[in-house]
Amino acid sequence: MRPTEPTEKTKRARRRREPLAPAALASIANALAGARAGYELCARRTNDPNVAVAVISAANSASSLLDEIAVAAATHGLDVRPRLRMTDRLRWEWVASTGSMMEKSADARVLAECARVLGEVVGLDVSPLGESIASRVRLASAEAWSLAAAVDAGARWRSCGVLAASR
């Protein structure tokens, strides 16, 4: 080994000194913005007022978490505000339309995709921003999985005709 090459010990020390990984923050911000777009689409398209209220609440909490991450990242000199592109919006519309055609429940399909998107970023390290942000990211993912499971169970319940027969 040449003396100019960093050793494993110095590489680890350098990684510890780096305050934040901008790519991780950008991934989390993009996931939150995408999930918020999915929630808003689901709230517009759903026929169930309970689902609409739940997804609007989830969209609001994703927005507030996104704002909190942007403020905390700005103190470290990073700009992580995502720009939602038209292709992102069209992707969410496509997810909803395929959900309504294939599974007869666009709500369940959109919420499952929101949960998947948020689940991908749960393990990313945001500890320099504080444990509260890391725990809120985990909570947002858990909320998305819970909403997806509840709406999917409700859709399966309705497809059996149990609710239709009771009306």
Which CATH number is 62's domain given?
1.20.1260
Considering the domain boundaries, does residue 69 fall inside one? yes
Q: Determine, yes or no, domain membership for 93.
A: yes
Domain ranges, residue 150? 20-166
Does residue 1 form part of some domain?
no
- Tens digits of residue pLDDT in 136-145: 989 999 999 9
Q: Is residue 5 domain-resident?
A: no
| 71 within domain boundaries | yes
| Number of structural domains the chain divides into | 1
Instruction: Give the model confidence (pLDDT) of 51-67 as tens digits.
Output: 999 999 999 999 999 99
Residue 107 resides in a domain: yes
Sign, Cα dihedral of 125, 126, 130, 134? negative
106 within domain boundaries: yes
Residue 15 lies in a domain: no
pTM for the model stands at: 0.76
